Structure 1
Amino acid sequence: METTLSLVGLAKNGDKQAFGDLYNEIYKDLYRFAYYTLGNREDAEDAVSETFLEGYKGLKNLRDETLFKPWMMRILSIRCKRKIKQYVTTRQKIDPEDISEHVISFDLNTDNDEKLALLAALSTIDYSERTILVLAVVEGYKTREIADILGCPQGTVSSKLYRTLKKLRAELERK
């Protein structure tokens, strides 16, 4: 199998199969981020699909091929932010009970009550906090990488992550 770097190079030159291979390689990571950010399976799928379409169209503008995945995560992060703004303007709420048990189970090895408590606690934090938390805890990015994805200082990411974890801990201890 070809490396991600060579696939990006091929895809930039118009190889649709190479882009399809890149899609298969990072789809789960992007979907997981969108799902934890948006809390809704359908919206997460839409956001990821729109992200891949935008990524395909803009791939020739990617300067550093080693940054393909962070670049796609940044596009997705912006899409998720737009969807959340849309939620707010239409007064839709993210309901933790609507979240598919199938998707939750692959990352959380806890019982249903704990899952619901965690999802309820996640719904209490704002978008930027949830984004940093998901990138760090679920996706495993380091604070420097998160700062690059979000376009903000590393110190901001570190302090927001610390405060968010502290806030979640307090919320979970209350329940």
Structure 2
Amino acid sequence: MDKKTRAKLAAAAADGDTSAFAKLYEQVYRQLYYYALSNLQSPDDAADAVQDAALQAFAGIASLREPSAFDSWIFRILMNIVKQKQKNYAITREHSLDADPSAVIGGSPFGRVEMLSALNELSPEERQCLTLYGAAGYNSKEIAELTGMKASTVRSHISRGREKLRKALKQGKGR
């Protein structure tokens, strides 16, 4: 779906068109879920966070000033929910072993567990930047706007995160 169509749907949703909101949500659900899963390490917690973000977005869509910014707006809502969930409980390594993100990460079940385990090795900032970049398709400037970081800092987090992932996955295959 192109940006113009998304902006039109967002404007219609802001005017109360629930089917327009549903279409927008359908377009971003996968990226929202992957972002939440990679940060919360639990499919149930990720699904809850995405559902909470959708409910908050639906309730507040009329306040969206720039319809073309729907994607970054709902991601910001989700990012805040994820941060709050992370504050409310400590994420344990056992969560990553329970995860089954087969809908968003391809490969064998062992590869998915290795990927989630490797993501768990990243700093929260590296994980956030890398998932926004890789899963949601944002560029460093857009991620900087979403997170409040400088674009150069975002690029550093992405670069370091990629290198750490590469090393962690390489070590995992050598076992």
TM-score range, shorter-chain basis? 0.7 to 0.9
Q: Work out the CA distance in 2 between the residues paired with 1:11 and 1:127.
A: 33
Could you say what secondary structure the match of 1:140 adopts? Answer: coil
State the identity as a percent: 32
- Alpha-carbon deviation of 1:172? 3.0
* Structure 2 unaligned spans of 5+: none
Indicate conservation of the 8 Å contact 2:144/2:154, yes or no: yes
Distance across 1 between alignment mates of 2:112 and 2:21: 35
Q: Distance in 1 between matches of 2:12 and 2:132?
A: 27
Aligned residue number for residue 98 of structure 1: 98
- Correspondence list, 1:1-175, <5 A: 3-88=5-90, 92-100=92-100, 103-104=101-102, 106-109=104-107, 111-175=108-172
Q: Write out per-residue CA displacement over residues 47-105 of structure 1, whole angstroms, 9 at most, x where no aligned residue.
A: 111101111222222221111001111111111111112222xx7445322012xx336
Residues 33 and 138 in structure 1, CA contact (< 8 A), matched pair in contact too: yes
Rounded Cα–Cα distance in structure 2 between residues aligned with 1:169 and 1:83: 28
TM-score, structure 2 length as denominator?
Answer: 0.85
Does the CA contact (< 8 Å) of 2:30 and 2:104 recur in 1? no
Structure 1: runs of 5 or more not aligned: none
Give the number of aligned pairs.
170
Question: Are the equivalent residues in 2 in contact too, given 1:87–1:93 (CA < 8 A)?
Answer: no
Tell me the amino acid that sits aligned with residue 31 of structure 1.
Answer: Y
Name the CA distance, whole Å, in 1 between partners of 2:59 and 2:94.
31
Contact 1:62–1:68 (Cα < 8 Å) also in 2: yes
Residue 99 of structure 2 aligns with an amino acid whose one-letter code is I
* Cα contact 1:40–1:94 (8 A) shared by 2: no
Separation in 1, partners of 2:41, 2:151: 26
State the one-letter code of the partner of 1:58: G
The root-mean-square deviation of aligned C-alpha atoms, in Å, is 2.2
Shift of residue 27, structure 1, vs aligned partner: 1.7
Please list the CA deviations of residues 102-127 of structure 1 after superposition, one character each: whole Å capped at 9, or x if unmatched: x3364323x34333222211112232
Cα distance in 1, alignment partners of residues 117 and 89 from structure 2: 17
Deviation at 1:13, TM superposition (A): 1.3
